[in-house]
Amino acid sequence: SEEYYDVTGEERPGQERPSCPAEVSISPDKSTWKVIFDSGFWCGADGEPGRELRVNRTFVWDGETFCIPAVYLCREGLVLDLCKRVEPEQIDDCLHKWELSVEKGEPDNLAWEQQEQNNPMALHVRVEAVVNGNR
């Protein structure tokens, strides 16, 4: 079925597999790119950076296109880069629907939760990996 190809990422007969776009690239300056387990992208953290394993795979899941540029092997576990393709029109629609702007400031908690449910860039998944029988 079509869902099989969406879930497995295998090529459909007669269809080329998409690749990660050129815009999704890993910084060539390794000294500025430290990926540390259990740390956010924008916050500095102490710890030993993970070892990069380039993946550069794109797949379709539940009608959405995702790209995995790399996985980082850290002592505590894996860190996965997961990029979701979002069309500019989807972002514009969300901004207009919720009348979002810098001038309006931050929404209250209830409004924020409602907006997050409709945010095309939100990613509500739990990813779990099993490697050699270990989670």
CA distances to 29, 34, 94, 98, 105 from 102, in Å: 33, 31, 14, 12, 6
pLDDT for position 114: 76
Asked if residue 99 and residue 67 are part of one domain, the reply reads no
**pTM beyond cutoff 0.75:** no
Asked if residue 72 and residue 22 are part of one domain, the reply reads yes
Q: Would residue 113 count as lying in a domain?
A: yes
pLDDT for position 4: 47
Q: Would residue 11 count as lying in a domain?
A: yes
Above pLDDT 70, what percent of the chain? Answer: 66
Number of domains in the chain: 2
Q: Would residue 69 count as lying in a domain?
A: yes
Q: Would residue 132 count as lying in a domain?
A: no
Boundaries of domain holding 97: 87-125
pLDDT for position 43: 61
Evaluate whether 68 touches 84 at the Cβ level (below 8 Å): no
pLDDT for position 73: 92
Mean pLDDT, residues 56-83: 90
Asked if residue 7 and residue 27 are part of one domain, the reply reads yes
CA distances to 69, 77, 129 from 135, in Å: 21, 9, 6
